[in-house]
Chains A and B, each alone.
Chain A
């Protein structure tokens, strides 16, 4: 009855009063909350008001119809629950009279607890340092079914500094990079979130890319006010169980926050670029396609890794995600910015592949096959494998340790040398026949 009363107090201004309009106007009053504010009216009075008002309204809006017919038709229609005609199944609950009877109280939110408040603040502070990156060579495609397919090369990145350098994964822009672009070419589109919540789109020009560590640096010409560089932390003092946060662009849902803990350290990451990256951080924060290139943060908001890979059988997160540690990022990115490539320290010698070494009964250490003439390695005195006068194979030096770090095979030697920079001096422990020797050698840029 209150519903009708509220309607009557404001006659419909429309020219024609149909059942639909009439009822919808009743309802819009309800939704506006008029009913609640209305003072309670006695039922008798309501009926009177209702009749007289409706009468007025009818005469005003449809002058050609006789009053009686109009009144009865309106009355009849109002008597029935309108939805009864339309839906055969959902009839509503006849025992409930008004919408208010089934509108429970809504409680306002309380203040955040300190633990969640910290995460909220971390997100709000760091979300502007995370960008969305789209490979320029991949475009969203409208399929025949009408479904828009978001291409895989849709990832995340982090703002490295105020000059517009953006760090991401190599595989995020892998398709563009497979066309061998030179530095300065546009390889991606970068969306930066401005503080007003609007995303601004920029061209991402290639600065440098390193397939071996699945990292790439782009540059955008964005105003410095838009660029909120991320704080890079140390990844070598991390502990399993520490809380970590990932921000990224999974499946195109931009600036998604996922929280978890560090599940493991020093993992080998099998990256999409086909290389194995050591020292990986494992986390159970949900990492999905599109999170690639985004930051993994510790509970202080420092970047501890770049989310890179997941272990999965469904193509989505299974709670096993991997990030490239910030120590690796810190070593690679400045080189990419400075030289557009990574100077990898090494010894320019040829080592025997594992099967060959095994055939030659070398089970422990890396066997030197060839030493180029006039190289640093020759000067240091490394002996290559050669043939004796009788055609027999004379084994070359076997490297068993670098600076007291044991070397079991070729891959391990590479991994150890990766930790050094060009120009560093190392001591190699080698086995030459039955002799154990130590040689000093300075590392040079690895030609690959």
Chain B
């Protein structure tokens, strides 16, 4: 009975930890909507929103207090390859006071090789909640991980799993390969893309990117992948300053 009680306490502790983790980290996660404006548009996304067609949704996270948002390239690929100037993307998030607001996200940097993109929103004096960055080189298979995102548009969804494998190679949107990817069985569905993968301390260890499916349904198969945060930490500052990854600068 003693042992049983101990186990129960352990479970309760874990539950509480998970709840705290979600409450602490979910304000750093943003909701990204790719919107196509009608041809007769004034060009302002926030006023013309009703007329716009939502082309896709994804997730992202706050990188710093300056308003830089990191997401997957494939989430904003339509905007990145826009030829008619009608693509917009709307970023919804909460500030440090807990007020929800939406802003247009402008592309700052793109790295299709690693399926990464950086957007910027005008903060207008609001204080943002950047993520806490961790490392991905010391992960171990079996440790818990947490994905927060907006699967199928359901905002701020938490899914929990374990690290299933490390050092995987997955294809990137332009046909190259992303190495050292993290495999997890935390459910990652379409719409989770671009959101953070966290460890039990709430440190970001990856950017949720892909799930392995047969029919392209975007439904999680329990074999899901995230870009390792070490790659992100190496790449994103260059994306912000130069607009492209270091190796693509010329």
Contact = CB atoms under 8 A, between A and B. Distances in A.
A314 B217 contact: yes
Interface in B206-236: 212-215, 217, 219-223, 229, 233, 236
Contacts of A127: 141
Interface string B59-80: 0000110101000000000001
Contacts of B163: 257
A316 B200 contact: no
A91 B243 contact: yes
Given A89-B107, A314-B214, A316-B214, A256 B223 contact: yes
A251 interface: yes
Interface in A96-113: 96-100, 102-110, 112-113
A27 B241 CA distance: 12
B185 A285 contact: yes
Given A83-B249, A96-B240, A109 B142 contact: no
Nearest to B167: A197
B238 interface: yes
Nearest to B236: A102
B143 interface: yes
Interface stretch (B35-43, B44-52, B91-99, B131-139): B131-139
Interface stretch (A115-123, A334-342, A368-376): A115-123
Interface string A209-253: 000000000000000000000000000000000000000001101
A81 B161 CA distance: 43
Contact of A90 (B130, B164, B183, B244): B244
Interface size grouping (class) on chain A: 35 or more
Nearest to A91: B243
Interface string B151-162: 000000000011
A315 interface: yes
Interface of A: 20, 23-24, 27, 31, 81-83, 86-87, 89-93, 95-100, 102-110, 112-117, 119-124, 127, 250-251, 253-259, 285-288, 314-317, 319
29 contacts: A24-B250, A31-B246, A86-B249, A89-B107, A90-B108, A92-B109, A93-B68, A93-B120, A93-B240, A102-B64, A102-B236, A102-B237, A104-B130, A107-B133, A107-B135, A107-B203, A109-B139, A113-B200, A115-B10, A116-B162, A120-B142, A124-B142, A250-B212, A253-B164, A257-B142, A259-B142, A288-B221, A314-B217, A315-B214
Given A27-B246, A92-B108, 20 more contacts: A87-B243, A90-B110, A91-B243, A92-B109, A93-B108, A98-B241, A99-B237, A99-B240, A104-B63, A104-B64, A106-B133, A108-B138, A109-B139, A120-B141, A120-B143, A253-B223, A256-B164, A258-B164, A286-B222, A315-B214
